[in-house]
Amino acid sequence: MEINEYLKLFRKQLFYPRLKEETQLSEFFISVTGSNGISFSEIYSTTIYPEFVQIEGERFMLWDNHFWDLYERFLLGFILAKSPKVDYSVIFEYINAISFLFLTNRFDSVPCLSYIFARHYAGTGFAVPPYNKFEATPNRDKLITAGYHKTLISGKLYVFFHEVIHSLIKIDSSIFDDDREDIIRFCAELIDNNIDGQVRETALEIIQGKDEGLIEEICCDLRAITESIRLLHKSSAEGADKKQTLMDFIMDIRYLLTFHGSMLQIEGAWQANRRGIDEFGAEFILHAEDQITQQNVVINKANSRVNLVLYLAFRLHGYTDFNSDDFIDAEWFSKFIVPSLEFVRSSDLMKKIFEDYLNLKPRYSAVEFRTSKNMLVITAATLNGAGRGG
């Protein structure tokens, strides 16, 4: 199988993507991947996430600009929230719009549900320009003006290096033996210091070595942080403080981790329920609340992994005074993000949407919508309409 065939089978791409990577960054990504024997390929697909793929000995990094398109919008929401004139309800709708747009794409293999999400997205009044219309990067310009361009770049470097390191581990996992030893040592130290709660449980899991996947993820995270700050420190002013570079970087990627974590939460909640609906039918809707409780356990675990990684990054660079409270704009998060996240995965909304889903499903399954071309037409049609309305 060739890469084009892979893309055709597994990715639904838009012909005229709304966003392309900045030239300077894409040149940097091409050179780093190239020197590691990996082809770098920019795409814009409904999958949204970047991916490392290996096909018949050839390795590719698929860089999905759709993810960055949504993330730029999310960061803009932060800037919007900082403005004293903006009403709370505006931010609420704005974040909802991003969440529904995300769900519309992520559920495109379930056309009927995707369509309902698209309608909710359109209803927020924050519809972005239609897909297949190239935007002359006004979002990025706004981020630059507001002083958040570096936040965006830091996030990209972090994700990029994380993926490259996954690909290197796949070839030879032994090159990370030293990292692993450090990680285990620092986790033991954390436990000796009597840290409690979920972070302790994650640290214990690592020491017990039960979850190889978790250890690999943490290795990739830590190396990505090290590589990124090495690069950022090199390009910063002479005499810049190394610790400050690390602290600034952690602050920057906190936004990315919040965005990514939020989207994972929303999707996880909807996936769990969708499977239940397909298996058990309408009565499953009644259990939406239980599902959310279960999801919260998963979310707490993911959050504690983030905190553990940031602690370890501090420790690896020789600092001992990590405090997670230094790195989160708690007010912004609790006031603007949390209400929207709770709404988009609330049992009330789920019940409402799943009722629509069960009503519409027979109509939708009567037609063959599962081919990528038709699906994009449906989604694009809905979104085009939204664009005009908004």
End-to-end CA distance of the chain: 42
CB 373 within 8 A of CB 303: no
CB 79 within 8 A of CB 148: yes
Residue 49 C-beta: closest distance to Zn ion, Å: 10
Instruction: Between 14 and 250, name the residue whose CB sits nearer to Zn ion.
Output: 250
* Pairwise CA distance, residues 189 & 195, whole Å: 9
Instruction: Between 217 and 356, name the residue whose CB sits nearer to Zn ion.
Output: 217
Instruction: Between 166 and 315, name the residue whose CB sits nearer to Zn ion.
Output: 166
Residue 129 C-beta: closest distance to Zn ion, Å: 31
Contact mark string toward Zn ion, 91..130, x via CB under 5 A = ----------------------------------------
Distance of CA 104 to the CA centre of its chain: 15
Instruction: Between 189 and 217, name the residue whose CB sits nearer to Zn ion.
Output: 217
Residue 258 C-beta: closest distance to Zn ion, Å: 17
CB 223 within 8 A of CB 179: yes
Instruction: Between 217 and 267, name the residue whose CB sits nearer to Zn ion.
Output: 217
Instruction: Between 170 and 185, name the residue whose CB sits nearer to Zn ion.
Output: 170
Residue 165 C-beta: closest distance to Zn ion, Å: 8
CB 90 within 8 A of CB 347: no
Fill in the DSSP letter of residue 18: S
Binding to Zn ion, residues 162-221 (CB under 5 A) = 217
Long-range Cβ pairs for the range 236-244 (8 Å, 24+): 242/317, 243/317, 243/319
Instruction: Between 44 and 160, name the residue whose CB sits nearer to Zn ion.
Output: 160
Binding to Zn ion, residues 339-358 (CB under 5 A) = none
Residue 161 C-beta: closest distance to Zn ion, Å: 11
Name the 3-class secondary structure at 257: helix
Instruction: Between 135 and 217, name the residue whose CB sits nearer to Zn ion.
Output: 217
Instruction: Between 183 and 288, name the residue whose CB sits nearer to Zn ion.
Output: 183
Structure tokens belonging to residue 119? 């309608």
Residue 310 C-beta: closest distance to Zn ion, Å: 16
Residue 316 C-beta: closest distance to Zn ion, Å: 18
Contacts of 37 (CB under 8 A, 6+ apart): 59
* Pairwise CA distance, residues 182 & 2, whole Å: 39
Residue 183 C-beta: closest distance to Zn ion, Å: 15
The residues that bridge with 53 in the sheet, in sequence order, are: 60
* Pairwise CA distance, residues 158 & 231, whole Å: 11
Binding to Zn ion, residues 213-242 (CB under 5 A) = 217
Residue 216 C-beta: closest distance to Zn ion, Å: 7
Closest chain position to Zn ion (CB) = 217
How many CA atoms within 13 Å lie on the side-chain side of 97?
24
* Pairwise CA distance, residues 148 & 151, whole Å: 5
Binding to Zn ion, residues 278-337 (CB under 5 A) = none
Orientation of helix 149-171 relative to helix 65-82, angle to 10°: 150
Calculate ∠ Cα 62-275-272, nearest 5°: 75
Name the 3-class secondary structure at 196: coil
**Rule CB under 5 A: which residues touch Zn ion?**
217
